[in-house]
Amino acid sequence: MNVTCDFLVIGAGPAGMAAAATAARLGLSTVLVDEQATLGWQIYRQVEGRGDNPPGVSHLDWVRGAALAAEFRASGAAYQSGTQVWQLDKDRKVYVTDGTKAACIVARRVFIATGAMERPVPLPGWTLPGVMTVGAAQIRYKTSQWVPQDGAWLAGSGPLVWLYAAQVLEAGGRIAGILDTAPPANTARALRHTMGALRNWATVQRGRALQQRVRAAGVAVYKHVSALEAKGDGQLSSVRYCINGQWHEKPASLLLLHQGVVPHAHATLSLDAAHRWDERQRCFAPVVDAWGNLSVDGYAAAGDCAGIVGAEASALQGRLAALEGARALGVIDATQRDAQAAPVRAALLRHLPIRPFLDALFAPRASLFEPADDVLVCRCESVTARQIRDAVALGCVGPNQMKAYTRCGMGPCQGRMCGLAATEIIARTRNVSPSEIGLFHVRPPLKPLSLSEFAALAEG
């Protein structure tokens, strides 16, 4: 069935919930769609499901998430959960599916808030069962309080490593050890951005408290890990890591990887909106103006999908995009928009200046972007780093030629897992910046669709 609305929001994380609530309050007929079953995505996952207000490390996020979810529920915006967007047209026809039937939503404004994903960084053995991401394990914790009992190894760099470790310990689980891959130079680089960090010192303190908690619990923390390997025959059995040129090996049944988060920009890429390479965050992000407007008319994007800003800033940016949407649709004028935006912008100034500090402190180690030749980069099509390098040597200068040549990025994940890694490999092989290489073209459908889903669309 086709739906028409003023303001369509894609993604029910903090940016999407705040935008939808703001737009609906201003009188726009608003629809929020999200492929997840519940509001709040990763950080505010299950805020509605858990009647108890969890104490401890998750408390503050729970309070903020519950407030946003309540504001959204009270706003009158429509909500379609379990609804995935698989195509966006330039004329703002947005195609969705609930897994059984496809449908089309025609909107006057579309706001994309598809958030972040963990940065995929290929390493030897990362496809073995028993190897997952830290975020994957945290999803199990948030949905059903599952924590590892046999001792999980955590490897990588990023605030999520410490947060998850603290959550596991608090819930009575076991961490075998933390393999910290952040290069030593990160600290000095981060200190150059102390002024920004001072604006939001509470966040820095919260992060330090988490680290202290994890160390105080006696978890072994191995610093300056320069390389990692997952070993096993069809199932993870050990983890190898290198410190100061020395390799070590430890038995492991669960290895959780994390190298920070990057924008999940598949939707904006598929629109052919302008994108930029962000050197500080080592990722591509859509080009947006101060209101989140994209280069494609009637479309906006904000929150982590337009550059990593964190949950609180994402919600604030969502509000700005909704105000601008209301202005563009003639519900408020520019003066009213600016007046309502002023406190939101003031609040953003508390959250944005800390980013350069965090980005520098947890920046991934450069050598991780040069996996050995035999490492699988494309999990779906089983394409190795060597095949990508060979394609470059044969004259495939960009990712799209390389894709046609190797099938890298042609599997069901459509390059979500290998795209950025492949661009980094091509850039290093050619000795140019990733900004010159770009990403794979993203073509609809954004995710594979079955024939029966398509059929429903034709029946209208």
Contact set with ligand FAD (CB under 6 A):
10-16, 33-36, 41-43, 61, 84-85, 113-118, 135, 138, 160, 163, 261, 264, 267, 303-305, 310-311, 314, 446
Window of 17-25, 58-66, 112-120, 300-308 that interacts with another protein by CB under 8 A: 112-120
85 touches, from ligand FAD, another protein, none (C-beta below 5 to 8 Å by class)? ligand FAD
The rounded distance, in Å, linking the Cα atoms of 386 and 141 is 37
Is residue 149 a contact residue for another protein (CB under 8 A)? no
Residue 233 beta carbon to another protein: minimum distance, rounded to whole angstroms? 9
Tokens representing 225 are 């890990």
Residue from 412, 430, 443, 455 that binds another protein (CB under 8 A)? 412
Is residue 285 a contact residue for another protein (CB under 8 A)? no
Residue 132 beta carbon to ligand FAD: minimum distance, rounded to whole angstroms? 11
Is residue 374 a contact residue for another protein (CB under 8 A)? no
Residue 401 beta carbon to ligand FAD: minimum distance, rounded to whole angstroms? 27
C-alpha 119: how far from chain center: 8
Tokens representing 334 are 């520019």
The rounded distance, in Å, linking the Cα atoms of 114 and 36 is 11
φ, ψ of residue 93 in degrees (nearest 5) = -95, 125
Residue from 131, 271, 396, 426 that binds another protein (CB under 8 A)? 131
Cα–Cα–Cα angle for 183, 129, 424, nearest 5°?
A: 40
Is residue 53 a contact residue for another protein (CB under 8 A)? no
List all residues 6 or more positions away from 324 whose beta carbon is below 8 Å from its beta carbon.
291, 292, 293, 300, 337
For residues 124-151, one letter each, b for 16 or more C-beta atoms within 10 angstroms of the residue's C-beta and e for the rest, the string is bbbebebbbbbbebbbebbeeeebbeeb
List all residues 6 or more positions away from 188 whose beta carbon is below 8 Å from its beta carbon.
none
167 touches, from another protein, ligand FAD, none (C-beta below 5 to 8 Å by class)? none
Strand partners, 376: 384
Residue number with CB closer to ligand FAD (80 or 238):
80
Residue 297 beta carbon to another protein: minimum distance, rounded to whole angstroms? 29
234 touches, from ligand FAD, another protein, none (C-beta below 5 to 8 Å by class)? another protein
Residue 445 beta carbon to ligand FAD: minimum distance, rounded to whole angstroms? 10
Residue number with CB closer to another protein (125 or 292):
125
Tokens representing 247 are 């390799």
Residue number with CB closer to ligand FAD (256 or 311):
311
Residue from 19, 193, 416, 440 that binds another protein (CB under 8 A)? 416
Strands (E), 261-313: 261-263, 275-278, 283-286, 299-301
Tokens 């407030």 belong to which residue?
A: 67
415 touches, from another protein, ligand FAD, none (C-beta below 5 to 8 Å by class)? none
37 touches, from ligand FAD, another protein, none (C-beta below 5 to 8 Å by class)? another protein
Is residue 343 a contact residue for another protein (CB under 8 A)? no
Report DSSP letters for 204-229, one per residue. Answer: HHHHHHHHHHHHHTT--EE--EEEEE
Residue from 140, 223, 280, 443 that binds another protein (CB under 8 A)? 140
Residue number with CB closer to another protein (285 or 354):
285
CA 318 vs CA 75, 125, 190, 346, 398: distances in Å: 15, 39, 28, 14, 34
Residue 291 beta carbon to ligand FAD: minimum distance, rounded to whole angstroms? 16
**Residue 4, SS3 per DSSP:** strand
Alpha helix ranges (H) inside 266-310: 266-270
- Rule CB under 8 A: which residues touch another protein? 35-37, 42, 46, 49-52, 99, 117-118, 120, 126-133, 135-137, 139-140, 143-146, 234-235, 264, 379-382, 411-413, 416-417, 447-452
